[in-house]
Copies of this chain bind each other. A is one copy, B any other.
């Protein structure tokens, strides 16, 4: 029976931080993601099958998907092995959760083929093993939205206490990706290890308001709370024309705009597709004027997360 021996998945990108929630907030993207096919094999262990799209390591010790899968298989006795094909469509280092998509997809697919011994929330901790390789320190802020869908909050990264938040229905994301590569490792190194207390208070005031706004669908409050006085002043230095881009987005009607994860992609959230598109055009103009190659994406919030294709 093919359905039991093989699974094909759409494993989406995600936006972490969302300006006011460094290392804790994230949301899941819809049309942007990888295609993974995971098949049972008689040979035990996890193997890389076909790789297409963006280049990825074929050594299972270096590939994020296989590292995450191995973490899962260390806890579960499997009578068979797995082969993973990846059509990598999210460019690694783009800042929209490329590694999280691979790690989450691998454990999600294998869990399904094993008869779902774990909940999606439980799978986060296995996927963390893959994330650790990508970013130097394991964080669940991209994994949580991919595995749970929608907006998520990581209350505690150590105990993986993760909460799914509600999704105001009219939100549409605009993502612009300048074609420069930025490793999470490097954009983490630029951060200070301490924060002025004053700025930290601003940040948690904004985060609390953001969470409240998701529950009450208060788009104005959402807009006022999407500020980052802690991380953005440093990370934005690594992103060409960040301030111009953010200002262009806000002037075109975006509720908020900031660095997606560790960058270099910049996201904006708008009310409705029409505004999101106007925001995208305004952002594109900044990079077109600069002659900087870039990609633009539009996405509703994906409340489901990973999708089973067949």
Contact partner, A154, options B155, B203, B205, Cβ 8 Å: B205
| B204 close to A193 (CB less than 8 A) | no
Residues of B within 8 A of A206 (CB): 155-156
* Chain B residues in 8 Å Cβ range of A24: 201, 204-205, 208
Judge if A293 is at the interface, Cβ distance under 8 Å.
no
Is A73 in the interface zone, CB < 8 Å from B? Answer: no
Cα distance, A202 to B200, chains bound together (Å): 11
Other-chain residue from B191, B196, B211 in contact with A193 (beta carbon distance below 8 A): B196
Residues in B whose Cβ lies below 8 Å from that of A207: 204, 207-208
Is A153 in contact with B205, judged by CB distance below 8 angstroms?
Answer: yes
**Which chain B positions have C-beta within 8 A of A281?**
none
Is the CB–CB distance between A21 and B208 below 8 Å?
yes
A204 near B21: Cβ-Cβ < 8 Å: yes
A212 to B164, CA, bound (A): 9
Number of copies: 2
Distance, CA A161 to CA B203, complexed state (A): 14
A22 interface residue (CB < 8 Å to B): yes
Q: Tell whether A195 is near chain B: CB-to-CB under 8 Å.
A: yes
Residue of B nearest to A154 (CB): B205
Does A224 sit at the interface, judged by CB under 8 A?
yes
Contacts of A196 in B (CB 8 A): 193-195
Judging by beta carbons under 8 Å apart, are B163 and A209 in contact?
A: yes
Whether B197 pairs with A195 at a CB distance below 8 angstroms is: yes
Q: Is the CB of B153 within 8 A of A201?
A: no
Query: Is A123 interfacial (CB 8 A cutoff)?
Result: no
The distance in angstroms between the C-alpha atoms of A155 and B195, with both chains bound, is 18
A23 at the interface (CB under 8 A from B): yes
For A201, give the chain B residue with the smallest CB separation: B23
- Residue in B161, B202, B208 whose beta carbon sits within 8 Å of that of A153 in the complex: B208
Chain B, residue nearest A206 (CB): B155
User: Which B residues lie within 8 Å of A153 (CB)?
Assistant: 205, 208-209, 212
- Contact A205–B165 (Cβ < 8 Å): no
Task: Indicate whether A215 reaches chain B with its CB closer than 8 angstroms.
Answer: yes
| A194-B195, A200-B200 given; 4 more Cβ-contact pairs under 8 Å | A24-B201, A155-B221, A161-B209, A211-B212
Q: What are 10 contact pairs spanning A and B, CB under 8 A?
A: A24-B208, A153-B209, A155-B206, A155-B209, A155-B224, A163-B212, A194-B195, A195-B197, A200-B204, A203-B204
Q: Identify the A interface with B (CB < 8 A).
A: 20-25, 153-157, 161, 163, 165, 191-198, 200-212, 215, 221, 224-225, 230
